[in-house]
C-alpha cells in the first residue's frame, strides 16, 4: 500500500469527520450514503454532490459500487429485493426519501438512461410520448407532438428519424436506440439525468455522438454519468468521482483528478495500473 496523505485519510473515513452541507450549486447531494445487498455493503458512506449545469463522472473499477450509487439518486434500488439504502440524499435541499416527494415524481424529475438501450417495443413516437402521457404533461395532441419533436431534436435524433416516427423503436440501430432513450428521458422535462454506462454497448461512432449530445445537454440539466472509459470521463465531465471497493476515494474537478490526483489509488487507476 502506498503512503496516504492526511487529506486522503479524511476522505476515506468521512464518518469520523464533520459532515458538510450540500456544496453551493448542488442539484443533488448524497451524505453518508451506504447501500447494502443483504449483509454486504456495496457502497460505504459516500458524500457526493451533483452540480447544476455540470456533468459529473463516476469512475472506478468493476464492482466498486458506482452503478449502485447512481441508482440511489432516483431510488431505482427500491425495487431490488434485499437492497437497503442508508444515509441522506437531497434534491434541491429536500430529502428524496421524505414523505413530501413521491417516488413516481422523483423519477420524473431525475431521469435515467441505462447501460443497454431499452426502448419499448412500440413506435418511436410512443416511446418518447410515454412519459408525458403518464404524467399528464400534454393536454392536446399538438402539445404532445411538440414535446416529442423537441425531445428528439435535443437528443439529436430528429433529423435522422423524423419520417420514421411510427416505426418501432427497437428497429433503430443501437446508437439511435440509446439516443431515443435519452429523448424519452428528456421528454418528461427532468432536472437531473443519470446515465449508467450509456455507451458501453455502442460502437465508437455512436459513442462519439452520445458524448457530443451530453455536451449539448449539459447546460439544461445536472448530469451524472457512470463510465468505465476514463477518456470518456475526461472528455465529457467537469467533475469526476473515483470509487474503489464501495468507497469514494477522490472527488474533484475532472482536470485535477486526471492531471494531479491527490490520492495514490486514483493515480494508479488513471494511469492504468489496475482496474
Partner 1 sequence: MSERIPAARWSSEPMRRRLRRRHLVERRFRRLGLAAVGVALLALVTLLGSIVGNGWSAFVRTRIALEVFFDPALIGSLAEVPPAQREARASEVDWAALVRAALSRQFPDVSGRRDLRALVGLVSVGVRSELRSFVLADPALVGRTETLWVPAASDVDALVKGQLPRDAEAEGARLSAQELGWIAALEERGRLTRSFDWSFLTSGDSREAELAGVGGAIAGSLFILLVTLAVAFPLGVAAAVYLEEFAPHNRWTDLIEVNINNLAAVPSIVFGLLGLAVFLNAMALPRSAPIVGGLTLALMTLPTIIITGRSAIQAVPPSIREAARGLGASPLQVVGHHVLPLGLPGILTGTIIGMARALGETAPLLMIGMVAFVVDVPRGFADAATALPVQIYLWADTPERGFVEKVSGAIMVLLAFLILMNGTAIWLRQKFERRW
| Binding residues for partner 1, total number by CB under 8 A | 26
59/129 with CB nearer partner 1: 129
Q: Does 198 bind partner 1 (CB under 8 A)?
A: no
Interaction mask 168-187, partner 1, x per CB under 8 A: --x----------x--xx--
Query: Taking the complex as a whole, how short is the minimal distance between the CB of residue 178 and partner 1, in angstroms?
Result: 12
* DSSP conformational letter for 168: B
| Other CB atoms within 10 Å distance of the CB of residue 106 | 18
Closest CA to 73 of 63, 59, 87: 87
116/164 with CB nearer partner 1: 116
Q: Round to whole Å and give the CA distance between 210 and 86.
A: 33
Q: Does 107 bind partner 1 (CB under 8 A)?
A: yes
Q: Which of 31, 48, 114, 227 binds partner 1 (CB under 8 A)?
A: 114
Q: Round to whole Å and give the CA distance between 209 and 212.
A: 5
Which residue is associated with the grid cell 489496475? 274
Which residue is associated with the grid cell 400534454? 138
Q: Does 210 bind partner 1 (CB under 8 A)?
A: no
Q: Does 89 bind partner 1 (CB under 8 A)?
A: no
Sole window of 49-57, 103-111, 198-206, 229-237 interacting with partner 1 (rule: CB under 8 A): 103-111
Q: Which of 5, 95, 105, 173 binds partner 1 (CB under 8 A)?
A: 105
Rg of the chain, C-alpha, whole Å? 19
Q: Round to whole Å and give the CA distance between 64 and 107.
A: 24
All three cell numbers of 174, joined, read 443501437
Q: Which of 76, 161, 182, 249 binds partner 1 (CB under 8 A)?
A: 76
Four-residue CA torsion sign, 74, 76, 79, 80: negative
Q: Does 121 bind partner 1 (CB under 8 A)?
A: yes
Query: Taking the complex as a whole, how short is the minimal distance between the CB of residue 80 and partner 1, in angstroms?
Result: 10
82/204 with CB nearer partner 1: 82
Sole window of 8-16, 42-50, 98-106, 248-256 interacting with partner 1 (rule: CB under 8 A): 98-106
Give the Å distances, CA to CA, from 84 to 33, 38, 58, 64, 249: 10, 8, 21, 17, 22
Q: Does 202 bind partner 1 (CB under 8 A)?
A: no
Buried b (16+ CB within 10 A) or exposed e, 24-49: eebbbbbbebbbbeeeebbbbbbbbb
Q: Does 135 bind partner 1 (CB under 8 A)?
A: yes
Residues 11-30 that bind partner 1 (CB under 8 A): none
Q: Which of 81, 136, 204, 272 binds partner 1 (CB under 8 A)?
A: 81
Residue 214 region, left (φ>0) first, then alpha (ψ -120 to 50), else beta? alpha
Q: Does 74 bind partner 1 (CB under 8 A)?
A: yes
Residue ranges binding partner 1 (CB under 8 A):
74, 76, 79, 81, 104-108, 111-112, 114, 116, 118-121, 130-131, 134-135, 170, 181, 184-185, 188
Amino acid at each position: 500500500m502506498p503512503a496516504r496523505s492526511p487529506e486522503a485519510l479524511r476522505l476515506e473515513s468521512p464518518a469520523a469527520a464533520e459532515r458538510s452541507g450540500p456544496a453551493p450549486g448542488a442539484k443533488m447531494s448524497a451524505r453518508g450514503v451506504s447501500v447494502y445487498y443483504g449483509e454486504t455493503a456495496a457502497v460505504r458512506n459516500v458524500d457526493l454532490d451533483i452540480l447544476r449545469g455540470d456533468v459529473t463522472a463516476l469512475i472506478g473499477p468493476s464492482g466498486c459500487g458506482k452503478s449502485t450509487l447512481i441508482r440511489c439518486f432516483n431510488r431505482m434500488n427500491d425495487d431490488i429485493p434485499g437492497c437497503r439504502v442508508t444515509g441522506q440524499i437531497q434534491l434541491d435541499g429536500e430529502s428524496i426519501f421524505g414523505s413530501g416527494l413521491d417516488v413516481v415524481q422523483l423519477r420524473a424529475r431525475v431521469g435515467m438512461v441505462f447501460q443497454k438501450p431499452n426502448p419499448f417495443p412500440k413506435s418511436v413516437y410512443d416511446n418518447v410520448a410515454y412519459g408525458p402521457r403518464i404524467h399528464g404533461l400534454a393536454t392536446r395532441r399538438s402539445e404532445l407532438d411538440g414535446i416529442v419533436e423537441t425531445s428528439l431534436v435535443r437528443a439529436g435524433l430528429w433529423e435522422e428519424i423524423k419520417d420514421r416516427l411510427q416505426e418501432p423503436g427497437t428497429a433503430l440501430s443501437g446508437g439511435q436506440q440509446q439516443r431515443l432513450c435519452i429523448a424519452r428521458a428528456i421528454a418528461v422535462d427532468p432536472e437531473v439525468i443519470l446515465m449508467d454506462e450509456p455507451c458501453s454497448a455502442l460502437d465508437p461512432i455512436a459513442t462519439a455522438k452520445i458524448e457530443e449530445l451530453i455536451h449539448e445537454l449539459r447546460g439544461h440539466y445536472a448530469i451524472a454519468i457512470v463510465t468505465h472509459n476514463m477518456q470518456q470521463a475526461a472528455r465529457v465531465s467537469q467533475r469526476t468521482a473515483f470509487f474503489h471497493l464501495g468507497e469514494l476515494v477522490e472527488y474533484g474537478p475532472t482536470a485535477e483528478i486526471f492531471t494531479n490526483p491527490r490520492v495514490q489509488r486514483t493515480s494508479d487507476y488513471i494511469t492504468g495500473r489496475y482496474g
